[in-house]
Chains A and B, each alone.
Chain A
Amino acid sequence: SAVISQKPSRDICQRGTSLTIQCQVDSQVTMMFWYRQQPGQSLTLIATANQGSEATYESGFVIDKFPISRPNLTFSTLTVSNMSPEDSSIYLCSVSTTASLYEQYFGPGTRLTVT
């Protein structure tokens, strides 16, 4: 399985600011995904990060609020823009590989608190 790291691991931000979260994988992967886990809740897919093209967003999530980049096969960023307290969540990156297309491996998550 792939080893995934995320930066930062946690942050406290003021409303109205933006935070960029990085996801780095130790090997080339096929797919990269970003999920949100709101306090005490399950995970919701935000978008699929596509290498070299625009991300594919799920219903309820828009590019202006959650811009995503994936410049290569091992790295992706998620920006949470113009933050409000409702954006306080854990943001998780996940990946799937050619060897195991339908398995997803998750990073440790970024715990974001917006004040």
Chain B
Amino acid sequence: AQSVTQLGSHVSVSEGALVLLRCNYSSSVPPYLFWYVQYPNQGLQLLLKYTSAATLVKGINDFEAEFKKSETSFHLTKPSAHMSDAAEYFCAVSDRRGAQKLVFGQGTRLTINP
């Protein structure tokens, strides 16, 4: 069975600082991995995805994530935080075998301090 663990339910950084949100996955088959963002009272927006091409994936709003098979990790980073980045972030894993079911991590709430 697949699973996702997000380390840190709440991360707080200063505006302009590096953002690092951690995600580790467990999967018996090569996974597809995703990061989604949820702004207050909204649905989920796809930030980026890993589907076996380049291990360093770039997404929207200057976010990027690196797939590290040896560490079973897919951490999300952004070089410089902006106030508008304050939101809930979810890491998710999908089974490549066709079920397309997404298994989500518990989420990390990102707070940006002025």
Chain B 81-107, CB-CB to A under 8 Å as 1, else 0, gives 000000000100010100011111111
Nearest residue in A to B105 (C-beta to C-beta)? Answer: A42
Given contacts A41-B106, A42-B106, contact A106 B43 (CB under 8 A): yes
- A92 to B43, Cβ gap below 8 A? yes
Residues of A within 8 A of B45 (CB): 106
How far does the Cβ of A89 sit from chain B's closest Cβ, in whole Å? 14
Q: Give A96 to B95 CA distance when docked, in angstroms.
A: 14
Q: Is the interface of B mostly helix, strand, loop or mixed?
A: strand
Residues of B within 8 A of A96 (CB): 100
Once A and B bind, how many residue pairs between them come within 8 Å at the CB atom? 53
User: How many residues from B make CB contacts under 8 Å with A?
Assistant: 22
Interface size bracket, A side: 20 to 34
Decide yes or no whether B78 CB sits under 8 A from chain A: no
Q: Give A1 to B44 CA distance when docked, in angstroms.
A: 13
Chain B 11-39, CB-CB to A under 8 Å as 1, else 0, gives 00000000000000000000010101000
- A101 to B46, Cβ gap below 8 A? no
